[in-house]
Structures are given as structure tokens and as C-alpha cells.
Amino acid sequence: MTLSTADDTRERELVQLALSGGRIYPRKHWWRIAGMAVVAVLGLVFIETFIFNKNMQWDVVFRYFTSEQILAGLVTTLELTAITMGIAIVLGTLIAIARTSSSAFLQSVSWFYVWFFRGTPVLVQLIFWYNLASLVPEVGIGIPFGPLLVSTETNQLITPFVAVILAFGLDQAAYMCEIVRGGLLSVDEGQKEAAGSLGLTSAQTMRRIVLPQAIKVIIPPTGNQLIGLLKYTSLVSVLAVPDLLYAAQLIYSQNFLTIPLLVTATLWYLIVTSILNIGQYYVERRYSRGSTREVTASITSRLFAGLRRKKEHVDVS
Amino acid sequence: MSVESEKVLLRCIDVTKRYGNLEVLHEVSLDVRAGQVVCVLGPSGSGKSTLLRGINHLEKIDGGAILFDGRLVGYEERNGKLHELKERQYMRTRSRMGMVFQNFNLFPHLTAVENITLAPRLVRRADSAAATANAVRLLDRVGLADKANSYPRQLSGGQQQRVAIARSLAMNPDLMLFDEPTSALDPELVQEVLDVMRALADDGMTMLVVTHEIGFAREVADEIVFMADGAIVEQGDPDTMLTRPSNPRTREFLAKVMS
């Protein structure tokens, strides 16, 4: 095969250019630029409408930000979330173990539990527990179907706070059960066999072998669930439990500064969920022992590494 | 060759196992005497692994009996009837049999030393320091003294299997069961595992080994058992079994694996 002299020169020029290490002009992404322009305009409109809106009254937002009522509401919200999540994790894990057990009875009972609590709205359950007194006026400890030995009025025992804990705890446990079950199923059957062949009982195997491995799979959706729950607790305002949202509502029902106080509550919700996000990252890292060959970096060093990479990337282009 | 005694450590009598209508073990009878190394050969699906898992009570058998050290595995006799043992009771028997799996089944969230010390600490209530010292000694025995604090994922397949063997040995078993211990390994890693097993046999460990390594069987086994279709077809000393097998199925199998 022969190349014409002209082609030959052209090719040599191209090779020279490619090897010279000169600047390469990146491809222009016109659609991306157009998209960015649209988003930028919408963003400016948003800022103009909401942030620089004098009806927003930022001074009010921050005046109430650390007010006693709002802070008390925040504490109630955190308490509700923590207690409910504690119940949900313990109960959900037990139900998940029952669902994956070899006993047909335990399997069906736990299946029924999940079916029932996942199938009913949590708001309905909330109102149900709150009104339990109209169904069962007295509760106590005694002989089943027989007389009560110790008893109290239902309304004394099921305060609004307790109603909320019951409703959310039982409801969330159903979801946690499914999350934990997914984690348990992710652990290889051979792990149980190996533990069994060494003489570990099934309880020891569950605690020492299966759960520690399942936890890696369980944590990410649990973090999601926790953040969801924190927000769901705002439903308790219907029972007049003074949580973060209800505290804000109480204030604006008197001074009619509705939007600023909702923003106060919103900011607090955002702060708490952000903290939970960071916490989740560290918990995930703690439980990824043995799953990678390298040591994982902290969240800040990862962030900086990301920025450095971005910068290098820019330098190249 | 290893030291043999007359004492029968493991006795399988007419062991039968079914999955639905499929009979995977059909009246398998086998004796293993203390100190003996028995290798089980046979094509895949012949029931070799199921037999091992039955012996270790990882699977319940549907017929026959398995006796370990003179006692039924998993059951006890009371007033002329057989009762299933409580978990703690059969776990005590089970922990006297070491089991090495094809896929190692090391605990990935624990280091090599933690893998080895877990069972002695939980099942035998061993003191932590003593268990660790013993684990380090065992790791040294399988040639992995420097890997004590490595996680399984940081080890090669051959190293993982050697840790798994050390983990079983930590319970001071009277019998070691090997379920195709080298089948999941890259060819160049097979030898290091076989070396450890050979040393174990030389030390007088009683071993029942399901394997495809004919060379190992020829060299180490006191007896070779050939299984096909869930039954023992032929058994005898390695020399006879590997050079002059009488059963056509044994001959056919050997011709395939040795070509």
C-alpha cells in the first residue's frame, strides 16, 4: 500500500500535534449550559420571592429560633423520635428473627404483624391509640378473660405522649422488620453452617455472626427510616402533643406570623436531619470492618479529596 | 501412613437421605477408626458432601444411624424411643468434629485470630488470653503466623482455607471432616492447603476427606471410598482402588480424572 505524499504530511502533522501536549479544547455541552441558565434564573426568582420577601420577616424567624417554646418542642420531637426508634429497632429485629425462623407459627404471626401495621396509615393508628379509652375504659394486669388484679383508667395510662409512642413504635417496627430481614437474608448460609459446625448455638450464631454482618446492609435504610420518622412525628400536632411543629403552631395562632414560624421549625428540622446524615456516615464506616482492603477516610478528608480532584480536573482542561 | 487403632470413632449404618422423591444417600455404611484417613471420591452429585453434612448433623438424615464415639449424632435413646437432642447437647458433640468447607466460610467481620478464638471462647468458655495464644500457635502451624490480624478479604483463597483449618483445630476435634477443601482454589494455591492436611494426617488426626485430588488420596489415605448415585460402590486401600479397581464405574471415573 502506498500513501500519497500529501496524506503522509498531513498524518505526520496530526501525530505531532497529538504528541506535543498542547491544550485540548473540551467539547461544549450546549444543552447543559442552557439548562444551567434556566435553573439560575429560577433560582434568582426563588431568592427574590422568598429570601428577600419582607413578609418573610427574618428577624421574627431568628427571634423565635431559640425561644423557650420552640426549644421545648424540639426536645419533645427528639424524645419522640429516639424512643420510637429504639422500640422499632428492638421489636423490628425480634419480628425479623421470627420471620426468618424455621417455626411456621412464628413466621405467620410475624407476617400478620407486618401485613397489618404496614397496611394501615400511621395517622389512623395515632388517633386510634389516643381514643383507646372509648373502646377499653380500664386497663390492668390480671387473669386473661378473668378479673383484673391491678387496674387503672385507660386515659391515665395512655397519655397523648404514650399514644404517639405506641402508634409510631408499632408502625415503625413493621418497617424495621423488613429492613432487618433484608439484612439477615444477605448473610451467606455458609456462615451459619460454619458457626454451627464449631458448636455455636443458633442464638450465639445470630448475635456473633449473622447480625454483625447484616448490620452493614441494615444501616443505610435505617438511617433513611430515622430521618423519615423525625419528620413523621410532626403528625402528633393533631393530638396536641407539643412537638416542634405544634410549638410553632401555638405561637403563630396567637401572633399570626404563620410563615416565619414555619420557617423556624423547618430550619430546625433541617439542622437535625443534617446531623443525622453525618452520624449515619460514621456509623456506616464503623460497621464496614473487614469489608474493604483499605482504611476509609473521614467525611471531611473525603470532601477535601473531592475538591482537590475537581481542581486537578479543571487544571487539565 | 498414620497410626491406626482398632477403635471405631465414626460409624455410619445404612444412612439414607431424601430431598423430596430424590434419594441422595442410599443405605451408606462406613466405619472410620481413630487415626485413620479416609478419602471419599466420586462424581459430583454422588452424595459425598451430603454424607459429610449428615455426619456433622448440618442435615438430618431420613434413615439409618450415625454414631460418633459410640453415641448417636443428634438423638438419644430414652425408654426405648429416640428423642431429638437439645441444641446445647448436640452442639457439644458437633464441636468435637471439625468441618472444613469448600468455600472456607470464614467470618468476614473478624480477623484471622478472632475467627479462631471465637468458638473456644463461646463454646468452651476459654480464657481470652489463652485462646489467643493457642490461635497464634495454630496460625504458625498452618504457616500464617504473620497474618494474625488480617481480615479474610485480605487473604488469598489458600490462606483463607488454612485459617479455616486452624479455626477447626482450635476446638481440639477428634475427627476432621473436609468437604472438597481445594475445589474453590486457584490451581497454584491447592498445594499449600494439601500440605497442611498432610501434616495433620502425619500427626495422627482422624480425617474424612471428600476430594478430587487423586494424588493426595493416593499418598495420604489409609482407605479410599468411591461413591456414585448416593451409594458406596467400592472401597479399599489406595493402591488397589487407584490401580486395580474392580467396579466399572470406579474405572470410568478414574479414567476421566486422571487423563
Each residue's pLDDT expressed in tens, for chain A with a length of 317 residues: 555 566 788 888 888 888 888 788 888 889 999 999 999 999 999 998 888 888 888 888 889 999 999 999 999 999 999 999 999 999 999 999 999 988 999 999 999 999 999 999 999 999 998 888 888 877 777 777 777 777 777 777 778 888 899 999 999 999 999 999 999 999 999 999 999 999 999 999 999 999 999 998 999 999 999 999 999 999 998 888 899 999 999 999 999 989 999 999 999 999 999 999 999 888 888 877 656 544 445 556 655 665 555 554 444 43
pLDDT given at position B210: 96
Mean pLDDT within B118-145 = 94
Mean pLDDT of B48-67: 92
Is B56 in contact with A197 (Cβ distance < 8 A)? yes
Angstrom distances, CA of residue B235 to CA of B30, B90, B176, B226: 10, 30, 20, 6
C-alpha cell at A28: 461544549
- Cell reading at A26: 473540551
Any bridge partners for residue B206, and if so which?
Answer: B175
All residues of chain B having their beta carbon less than 8 Å from the beta carbon of residue A194 are 99, 101, 105-107, 164
Interface check for B118 against chain A (CB to CB < 8 A): the answer is yes
Dihedral pair phi/psi, residue B246, rounded to 5°:
-90, -25
Mean pLDDT across B198-226: 94
The single residue listed with the C-alpha cell 421574627 is A60
pLDDT exceeds 70 at position B4 = no
Residues B82, B87, B92, B96, CA torsion sign: positive
Mean pLDDT of the residues in chain B: 92
Q: What is the mean pLDDT of residues B93-117?
A: 94
Residue of B nearest to A207 (CA): B122
Contact A208 B118 (CB under 8 A): yes
Distances from the Cα of A216 to the Cαs of A170, A174, A228, A281, in angstroms?
24, 20, 20, 12
Q: What is the pLDDT, as a whole number, of residue A295?
A: 47
Cβ–Cβ gap A194/B122 under 8 Å: no
Q: Which chain A residue is nearest to residue B102, measuring alpha carbons?
A: A190
User: From start to end of B34-161, where are the E strands?
Assistant: 37-41, 63-68, 71-72, 75-78, 81-84, 97-100
pLDDT, average across residues B30-48 = 93
- Measure CA B220 to chain center: 14
**Residue A138, C-alpha cell as written in the block:** 380500664
B178 CB within 8 Å of a chain A CB: no
Q: Find chain A residues with C-beta within 8 A of B99's C-beta.
A: 193-194, 197
The number of C-beta contacts closer than 8 angstroms across A and B is: 75
DSSP B185: S
Dist. CA A100–CA A242, nearest whole Å: 39
Cβ atoms of A95 and A113 closer than 8 Å: yes
pLDDT at B259 exceeding the cut of 90: no
Residue B158 near residue B127, CB atoms below 8 Å: no
A290: enclosing H helix or E strand: none
Q: What is the mean pLDDT of residues B96-117?
A: 95
Mutate to test the interface with A, among B56, B107, B117, B118 (most CBs of A within 10 A): B107
Q: Which residues of B touch A209 (CB under 8 A)?
A: 107
